[in-house]
Amino acid sequence: MVDIKEFAKREVKLVGGHRLCAGCPAPTIAKLAMMASDKPVIASNATGCLEVSTTIYPYTAWKTPWIHTAFENTAANISGVEAAFHALQRKGLIEQSKGFRFMAIGGDGGTYDIGLQSLSGAIERGHKFVYVCYDNEAYSNTGIQRSSATPLFANTTTDPTGHVRKGKQELRKNFTEIMVAHNMKYVAQASLSNIQDFIMKMEKAFKYTDETATFVNVVSPCVPGWGIRDGDAVMMSKLAVDTCFWPLYEVEDGIYKLNYNPEATGQKKPIIEFLKNQGRFKELLKPENSELIARFQQDVDERWEKLKKKCGV
């Protein structure tokens, strides 16, 4: 277990004063992620909400070496930084005792979609960094357009709910499993509703970068995009976990482990409990759309049962 009191004494590398929406969990995800490192962190940040809102010229909220990259190349960027660091060490220009951890961070747009090619390539080449995705399930920075992480029937500006279509018609991409297929030492899915679990996973992810790239996917409820109140992000994160929409699990050396099973604790909730608190799903709550909610529940149940089998539950 993580000693939260001791953890809170660590240096904070992302400070206040940024311009992110009130209640946005993205800066907390980034802050806690870097605090979990046992060495100084160099960060590469894909274009997105976190990037544009923390570095409005001439100000910055970052207290660590930080690089803004395009949507599509944050993993390529950090792999170049990591390679350059080790090259300078070999040449004797940086002391061998000097150590850094390398982190790339991006939203689902810059991870699931536009950044997938560079991320997959950097992992395949054997670069050693941790990639953190704050998944807010849309291109929130540019107006809440759909992404491949957007759930079924969600309302977005590019796939709105109306008389002809009920929001997004395609299932969301299971990106964590795509990362598992890259045969890294460590892949995990986390939520701010369980801080200790998230910190533990980040500590593992950083330490495994001595050997390999690692990946941590964190659900990040978007206040305007999800249509929630500005104090509800952690509550929504918990509902995502308790409905099994966003299971907490890790894959370490290829072995699956379920970190929390709401069925075993009697906390498992139907998906309607997750949907009814979000403005993007308000059309689903109409009586004539009950069949759509049943389809949503079926997808969640099928994914949950497959995951339990992988975890030996």
Render pLDDT for 227-285 as a digit per residue (tens, 0 to 9): 999 999 999 999 999 999 999 999 999 999 999 999 999 999 999 999 999 999 999 99
**Residue 97 confidence (pLDDT):** 78
Domain span including residue 10? 4-310
Give the number of domains in the chain.
Answer: 1
3-state secondary structure of 34: helix
**Residue 233 confidence (pLDDT):** 97
98 burial class (0-12, 13-18, 19+ CB within 10 angstroms)?
exposed
Percent of the chain with pLDDT over 70: 100
The verdict on pTM exceeding 0.95 is yes
The pLDDT-based confidence of 19 (bands split at 50, 70, 90) is very high
Say if residues 11 and 35 touch (Cβ distance below 8 Å): yes
Say if residues 258 and 247 touch (Cβ distance below 8 Å): yes
Query: Which of 80, 69, 83, 111 has the alpha carbon at shortest distance from 216?
Result: 111
Task: Give the domain CATH number at 148.
Answer: 3.40.50.970
Q: Other CB atoms closer than 10 Å to residue 94's CB: what's the count?
A: 16
**Residue 290 confidence (pLDDT):** 94
Quick: pLDDT tens for 93-149.
998 878 999 999 999 999 999 999 999 999 999 999 999 999 999 999 999 999 999
Mean pLDDT of the chain: 96
**Residue 143 confidence (pLDDT):** 95
